[in-house]
Structure 1
């Protein structure tokens, strides 16, 4: 699912910019090693929380703010870029969750738009294909404890990068076989630890992708 948020046209460069219950396995992209027992989970997204009480209709109620103008200064553009990159990563978790909940059917069609580098798809292909063939699925909900920017790279052609350290908690995630038998987590596998991501914009009038994904199970968070 490609984000509907498209890069706003700007003076300096063009930049752009979860309600499900499970996220499929990730992989160590740089090494190509797949570790499903340590990196499965799901992240609820916008609209997934319990509905709040309706706002008061009294005349004294604060009116909704007007939509902000498109960013124009370097500082505004950078701030929007970072926010959009984070939102895109969350959307990636959302879509991966939908795939996992649906026994990994059509995983390539749904997730390919999020992958900005062939190595990412290649590192996940074997695991996703096997899960789709066997009918495995996941339930549960993971959560993002934090997302911190470690580097920001500008570009004159709209290929900006946002490097993120994300703390992900997979403790509530459960994995099942097609018959509904729970697949136990490997003994000693951590459930909350650090991930490094490189989010890259794909150019003018395009969108953000996940270009690198590097889990660190040894780094608790």
Structure 2
């Protein structure tokens, strides 16, 4: 869900995307909802998700450093540190994979990206957008960057699964979008190139990967 700072009557053209060697593009926010069909070279915000999956707004961002992750954690603090490190690494991998997909004209987006998505709000709308981009022959060059990520929530066991809430600053300035003829698609005037996203990343159980369960862009918050 987009921040309430965006009013229903306000239409904002913004970049959204994903990456640490990734991609970026534009989206339009209308009535507080991202419209995936307007996205070029980027993962759209998934809109609202179920209340149980939402990141708590009452949790203050943590400024304290966490212990360095142990390869074989045993204590609660070591396990927490490893979970956080793994969630952050998964977010970076998500952006890297998305960049590779977009740079390759969105070919094989389904097999490459479905393992990262843990919520129908993301894989449904984002998959539809990527499929359309592939059909239209669009592609990107360059990469977006996860500049920073900090913990805003940690749950060691939520219905059997650990979860980490992150606030990440994403920079899309290094990405260029192209149409099927190789003509550059210029960024809309006034669209931010660097702003905040909130993520809820959840572990899916023993010997499984972490997944992106909530992705909330905050284009009104520069970083």
> Residues 156 and 165 from structure 1, CA distance in 2 versus in 1: closer, same or farther, beyond 3 angstroms?
closer
The match for 1:174 is 176
The match for 1:196 is 198
SS of residue matched to 2:165: strand
> Residues 27 and 93 from structure 1, CA distance in 2 versus in 1: closer, same or farther, beyond 3 angstroms?
farther
Contact 1:200 1:209 in 2 (8 A): yes
User: Is structure 2 residue 86 aligned with structure 1 residue 84?
Assistant: yes
- Structure of higher CA gyration radius: 1
Contact 1:138 1:174 in 2 (8 A): yes
The match for 1:108 is 110
State the 1:148 CA deviation.
0.6
SS of residue matched to 1:119: helix
Contact 2:25 2:187 in 1 (8 A): no
Matched residues in 2 for 1:184 and 1:102: separation? Answer: 19
Q: Give 1:131's match in structure 2, choosing from 124, 130, 133.
A: 133
Contact 1:149 1:164 in 2 (8 A): yes
The match for 1:162 is 164
Matched residues in 2 for 1:23 and 1:90: separation? Answer: 14
Structure 2 residue runs of 5 or longer lacking an equivalent are 1-18, 44-69
CA deviation vs aligned residue, 1:28-71 (integer Å, no higher than 9, x gap): 9x945328669849xxxxxxxxxxxxxxxxxxxxxxxxxx6500
Q: State how many pairs are aligned.
A: 178
What TM-score comes out, normalization by structure 1 length? 0.72
The match for 2:217 is 215
Matched residues in 1 for 2:24 and 2:97: separation? Answer: 8
Structure with the higher fraction of residues in strand conformation: 2
Q: Give 2:74's match in structure 1, choosing from 72, 78, 97.
A: 72
The match for 1:94 is 96
Contact 2:20 2:146 in 1 (8 A): no
What TM-score comes out, normalization by structure 2 length? 0.71
CA deviation vs aligned residue, 1:96-116 (integer Å, no higher than 9, x gap): 111001100111111000000
Structure 1 residue runs of 5 or longer lacking an equivalent are 1-17, 42-67
Contact 2:24 2:177 in 1 (8 A): no
Matched residues in 2 for 1:134 and 1:161: separation? Answer: 36
* CA RMSD across the alignment: 2.8
Matched residues in 1 for 2:116 and 2:41: separation? Answer: 18
